[in-house]
Amino acid sequence: MAPIPGSGLAKGLAVTLRTMTRKSVTEQYPDAQPELPPRTRGVIGLFEENCTVCMLCARECPDWCIYIDSHKETVPPAAPGGRERSRNVLDRFAIDFSLCMYCGICIEVCPFDALFWSPEFEYAETDIHELTHERDKLREWMWTVPAPPALDAGAEEPKEIAAARKTAEKLAAAQAEPQEGES
Ligand code: SF4
Ligand code: SF4
């Protein structure tokens, strides 16, 4: 059966009318900033103080886009007569975000909580080389990492906090005790 003349136009107009009455999903970025979930995978921050240069993140990264350089340093013995120890000192820590696929494996495997997700995403560059963020820049991203979610009510206290609290209580008790010779 031949189509009724003008039916195609009517269908098209019906679609236009239907769409015009719906709420628009387009956001006027950058004038309107998107509301992102707090755990959005935007960029990776490095908490350098926690990094022991164990290399686990670099080895597990599927894209091989974490670059770490380090050297060994000898540390004097903790107690007199003890043995000298050696430790790794970080020289370079960089992530190439032009290769990173935001899988989060590096953050998951870090045994020392040195890597964190930040929701920041506005770091586009016109030069691809600028997407390799060196340690200073990765450190700066730490300021944009949201605080961890609060513990559930009634949850067990984290063991690090419990240990620190016990030490602080012992110190306070020792200071409160009257010194020998004091009345
Ligand atoms: S998020 Fe994934 S791809 Fe990106 S640096 Fe970490 S491990 Fe590599
Ligand atoms: S896994 Fe963590 S501690 Fe080990 S090198 Fe990477 S960031 Fe540093």
pLDDT digits (tens, 9 = 90+) for 114-164: 999 999 999 999 999 999 999 999 999 999 999 988 888 888 888 888 899
Residue 40 has pLDDT above 90, yes or no: yes
Cis peptide before 30 (omega within 30 of 0): yes
Share of the chain above pLDDT 90, in %: 63
Residues whose CB is less than 8 angstroms from the CB of residue 45 and which lie 6 or more positions away in sequence, other chains included: 115, 116, 117, 118, 138, 139, 140, 141, 142, 143, 144, 145
Q: Is 95 in the pocket of ligand 1 (CB under 6 A)?
A: yes
Dist. CA 59 → ligand 2 center (Å): 10
Dist. CA 148 → ligand 1 center (Å): 21
CB 104 within 8 A of CB 45: no
Ligand having the closest approach to the CA of 101: 1
Q: Identify the residues whose C-beta falls under 6 Å from ligand 2.
A: 51-57, 68, 110, 112, 114-115
Mean pLDDT of 67-81: 90
What average pLDDT does the structure give for the chain? 91
Using 50, 70 and 90 to split pLDDT, how confident is the model at 113? very high
Atom 8 in ligand 2: residue holding the nearest Cα: 51
At 183 the pLDDT is: 46
By most ligand atoms within 8 Å of CB, the mutation choice from 46, 50, 57 for ligand 2 is: 57
Using 50, 70 and 90 to split pLDDT, how confident is the model at 58? very high
Residue 107 has pLDDT above 60, yes or no: yes
Atom 3 in ligand 2: residue holding the nearest Cα: 51
